[in-house]
Amino acid sequence: MRRYSPRVFRVASRFFRQRSIVEDAAQEVFLKAFTELGSFEGRGSLEGWLTRIATNTCLNLVRSAKRRPEANVSDLSEEENSWVQGQLAAVAASQHKSTETSIVAADLAGRVLETLSPDDQLVLTMIDGEEASVKEVVEATGWSESKVKVQVFRARRRMRAAVEKLLGSKRPVANKTLESTGKR
Amino acid sequence: MSDKHIIDILDESRLSTLSESERAVVEQHAEGCSECRSALAAAYLSTALLRERAANSFTPSPFFATRVLATLRKRQSSREFWGLARMWRAAGALVSAMAVTVVTLAVVTFVVPANETGIDQDLVTAYSADEVILGQSELPDEVNYGQVWNTLYGGDEEIAK
């Protein structure tokens, strides 16, 4: 268990923002794995098998959770607002961020992702966040390659729409940033 | 491509996978198109958010394994309890069915009157085989040969003749 815990926690962290929920999800994954250990035929690696169980268990947990909230600019804290502005400026300047701002950003990312479906969250976090390949997503979920491609295409569009909505009143900043990005 | 909106390109591929020339074309188009400009800004922000999110994953606490094993034991004992409960329920149903059968048989044997069994009591009590064959009792005078045959062979007239 100690050997595979980091892997399972990483998968669960794609779906949940709170440590306690991540731990609960990881626990559920291991309990399920112990129960279904007999069904592991040894064709693939144990890690791959466990990753698939972790992904599907977390997906089911998110699906059974309450309705997704709407992302709203007014929901942003002062720190988050400043991160959004800083980030938009950093895109142009390619600056690196501090650890503190990273945590704020991760939290904000979690909130934006929560407005999307669990499937969207998964493909976006893996492909755009972790830069995983389509094949890796196929292995983790058991979906077909075409489903993953369609899912990520639609998920990007929905994520972009959610972020645009989040930016809302920050449009002048965004425009300014893009202007400077274009000049780069 | 400059005449075409770039939104589809943003949806089709990761920003990081765009080549320098592709990125230049995208940004050039965004400069002159407000719709694509805001889409590109959102795409940059989305990518940044997702990267931050991916970089922030939790690590297991020191007592995680202990906690999982304790929960596993608890669930297993709970499953055993419910297994036993199910077995007891099945056994109870079987015992009940057997008791009902025994009671029914007892009622049929001891309580239901003999005349409801369909046997002609007059034939049984009036002329027993012993009486007819051995003549150990005094048969009434009116008993004729045919009645004796009826008693012995169940009224088979063909044999009697």
The ipTM value here is: 0.70
Lowest mean pLDDT among A85-94, B46-55, B96-105, B114-123: B114-123
B92 CA: distance to closest CA in chain A (Å): 30
Is residue A13 within 8 A of residue A55, CB to CB? The reply is no
Asked if the model's pLDDT at residue A17 lies above 70, the reply is yes
Pick the CATH number of A69-184 from 1.10.3720, 1.10.260, 1.20.140, 1.10.287: 1.20.140
For B3-13, give one letter per residue: b (16+ CB within 10 A) or e.
eeebbebbbeb
Query: Residue A82 pLDDT more than 80?
Result: no
**Backbone torsions φ then ψ of A9, nearest 5 degrees:** -65, -35
Is B60 in contact with A26 (Cβ distance < 8 A)?
yes
| Matching residue, tokens 């989305």 | B46
| CATH code, residues A1-65 | 1.10.1740.10
Chain B neighbors of A128, CB-CB under 8 A? 14, 46-47, 50-51
Partner-chain contact B46 A181, CB within 8 Å: no
Among A170, A169, A114, A122, which Cα is nearest to A142's? A122
How many C-beta atoms surround the C-beta of residue A154 within 10 A? Answer: 16
Has this prediction a pTM greater than 0.80? no
- How far is B97 from chain A, CA to nearest CA, in Å? 36
Cβ neighbours of B72 in A, within 8 Å: 30-31, 34
Contact A123, A151 (CB under 8 A): yes
Cβ-Cβ pairs closer than 8 A, A with B, add up to 148
Q: Identify the pLDDT of residue A91.
A: 59
Predicted pLDDT at A89: 65
First CA to last CA distance, chain A:
49
Cβ distance A88 to B41 less than 8 Å, yes or no, reads yes
Provide the chain B residues 21-80 that lie in CB contact (below 8 A) with chain A.
Answer: 27-28, 30-31, 34, 37-61, 64-65, 67-68, 71-72, 75
- The string of pLDDT tens digits covering residues A139-173 is 989 899 999 999 999 999 999 888 888 777 454 44
Q: Rounded distance, CA A62 to CA A84, Å?
A: 26
B31 to A157: CB separation less than 8 angstroms, yes or no = no
| Residue A141 near residue A95 (C-beta atoms within 8 A) | no
pLDDT above 70 (res B105): yes
Average confidence (pLDDT) over B9-36: 85
Residues of B in contact with A159 (CB under 8 A): 46, 50
pLDDT of residue A152: 93
- Whether A104 and B52 have beta carbons less than 8 Å apart is answered as no
CATH 1.10.1740.10 domain residues, chain A: 1-65
What is the enclosing helix (H) or strand (E) of B1? Answer: none
Q: Is B14 close to A91, i.e. CB distance below 8 A?
A: no
Cα separation, A154 vs B139, in Å, equals 108
Q: Which amino acid is at B99?
A: A
pLDDT reported for residue B7: 80
CA-based end-to-end distance of chain B = 121
Tokens coding A165: 């909505």
Distance from CA of B70 to the nearest CA of A (A): 11
Interatomic CA distance for residues B47 and B62, integer angstroms: 33
Query: Distance from B31 to chain A by nearest Cα, in Å?
Result: 6
Q: State the CB neighbour count (10 A cutoff) for residue B121.
A: 10
What ranges do the domains of chain B cover? 7-55, 116-160
Contact assignment for B68 to A6 by CB distance below 8 Å = no
What percent of chain B shows pLDDT beyond 90?
Answer: 9
